[in-house]
Amino acid sequence: MKSFAQRCGMHDAARAGALRQTAQLIAAAGLELVRFVWCDVHGVTRGKTLVASAAERAMSDGVGMVSTLLLKDTSDHTVFKVFEPGGLADLPGFECASNLVLLPDPASIRQLPWTTATGWMRGQPWFQDGRPVELDTRRVLQRALERLANSGLAMRCGLEVEFHIYRIENTQAQLDPQQAAWPGPAPEVSMIHPGYNLLTEAWYDMAEEPLRIVQHTAQALGLPLLSLEIELGPSQVEAVFDVSDALTAADNMVLFRNGVKQALRRAGYHATFMCRPPFPNIMSSGWHLHQSLVDATTGRNAFRRDAPEPGCTRIDASHTLSDLGEQYLAGLLQHAHSTAVFCTPTTNGFGRFRPNALAPQSVLWGRDNRGAMLRVIGECGDEDTRIENRIGEPAANPYLYLASQIHAGLEGVERKLKAPPATDAPYASSAAKLPTSLGEALDALRADPIITNAFGAPFVDYFARIKESELLRWEQAQDKDEFQRREYFGRF
């Protein structure tokens, strides 16, 4: 009898080898439990934990999961009417909270460093008849990468991730049954450093204990961590990761974000990747995405230019970027409004777009300019030439963030768009402003037929419905700070 992986067309010699090696690793390491995990539309990992003796079969036949996990907003309410006739007419296969099958990737096995005898494996959902679930955000990125590969290109990404770490002051406050609600209460916290002393060694030393936990966790998980830094805001830090292929970079972001939250929690700390924690005098956190395209065969940087275009100046993109690189840059600018919601997907994140805050406000690019939305880094002949997008918030779903860049950039390449001149005054410009709210960003997405077609209209409709539920609850909330504490701070 065929396994579920075989019925899905996912079983080949490489997977069979990985399955054998993983089964041997589980036995040799003495693992008692294995977590089978999936990343939801909000970037949160969910799944089931199996005893080790059940893990080998699960790697072949998958693990059942309720389909409503794909239909929840940031409060964990199911947005769609799954039990009403016609309530899921546009989402066949999700009726009545039916089961999906989470099929794990045995090559993704990790041994978790913050708990004992526990393995971790990434999976993706499938329908029970063996069809892929196209709403899965990792699959959305895989489809974008297929589009890129059809052009003979691949994507390379480096990550700069700002976030906040706090010390938990009352470990029981969040677990008080008298305070239980939906969503539940956020933890009571204090800061790990007072802030407003950028990169100071003294503040790093003050925060070293939790940063050591971040370091050890990331390295034990095999993540390419390069540095840990003290950011400007109170209790704010940054982690920087080396370059990798796009899918690996997105996988790493999911693993890092959810892993360090768990490891820090066990040591009495709370990490949050929400953009603007609900406290006075904080600084917004961003997720700066460094990206370049490379020749899929040779690996050569397709953004690199060996010499400036004749007659151009340093404010011209063709002074540094190849023709393809300029076209990609122009595509990111052309579709900045409609892709913003994939880069900044919460009601909280749009408060970051303000003048003179080392965050973008307008749809502009600049040469090594940290006030511009897009920062071009490198000079002629530099194999590390790249574009840094500074619009993202650290709570963004990594798969959707990267997919939005690919689709917008490729539209520029395919239409051979020209980029405008670089800015040297990003906050004084009369250029079009970025969306200032989640509602405005969703409207921009729905109004862009090119990006809607690239992602697929069914996915855009699904994604917008979920985000509109979040937006409606935000608009109806009488206490906006309490909404953000429970909805974002305690969960993201």
| DSSP letters for 196-254 | -STT-HHHHHHTHHHHHHHHHHHHHTT--EEEEEE-SSTTEEEEEEEEEEHHHHHHHHH
CA-CA distance, 275 to 479, in Å (whole number)? Answer: 18
Residues of the chain with pLDDT > 90, as a percent, come to 80
Classify 381 in phi/psi space as left (phi over 0), alpha (psi -120 to 50) or beta.
Answer: left
What pLDDT band is residue 208 in, cutting at 50, 70 and 90? very high
**Residue at 401: amino acid letter:** Y
What pLDDT band is residue 182 in, cutting at 50, 70 and 90? confident
| Nearest residue to 58 (alpha-carbon basis) of 129, 130, 121, 108 | 121
* Burial class of residue 323 in the structure, from the number of CB atoms within 10 Å of its CB (0-12 exposed, 13-18 middle, 19+ buried): middle
Q: Is the pLDDT of residue 171 over 90?
A: no
Domain boundaries along the sequence of the chain: 4-133, 151-455+484-489
What pLDDT band is residue 196 in, cutting at 50, 70 and 90? very high
Give the CATH number of domain 4-133; options: 3.20.20.70, 3.40.630.30, 3.50.50.60, 3.10.20.70.
3.10.20.70
pLDDT score of 131: 94
Instruction: Measure the CA angle with vertex 345, ends 293 and 249; round to 5°.
Output: 35
Residue ranges in 347-479 assigned as alpha helix (H): 398-414, 438-446, 449-455, 457-476
CA-CA distance, 253 to 418, in Å (whole number)? Answer: 32
pLDDT score of 155: 98
Averaged pLDDT, 88-93: 81
Helix axes 52-61, 13-28, angle to 10 degrees: 170
CA-CA distance, 470 to 78, in Å (whole number)? Answer: 11
CA-CA distance, 488 to 465, in Å (whole number)? Answer: 19
Q: Is the pLDDT of residue 429 over 80?
A: no
Q: Is the pLDDT of residue 2 over 90?
A: no
What pLDDT band is residue 214 in, cutting at 50, 70 and 90? very high
Around 316, how many Cα atoms within 13 Å sit in the side-chain half-sphere? 14
Residues 6+ apart with CB under 8 A from 345: 42, 393, 395, 396, 397, 400, 438, 467
Question: pTM (2 decimals)?
Answer: 0.96
Q: Could you report how far apart the first and last alpha carbons of the chain are, in Å?
A: 42
Structure-block tokens of residue 480? 């906006």
Q: Do domains 4-133 and 151-455+484-489 have the same CATH topology?
A: no
CA 486 vs. chain centroid, Å, equals 20
50 and 102 Cβ atoms separated by less than 8 Å: no
Residue range 218-233, pLDDT digits in tens: 999 999 999 999 999 9
Q: What is the CATH number of domain 151-455+484-489?
A: 3.30.590.10
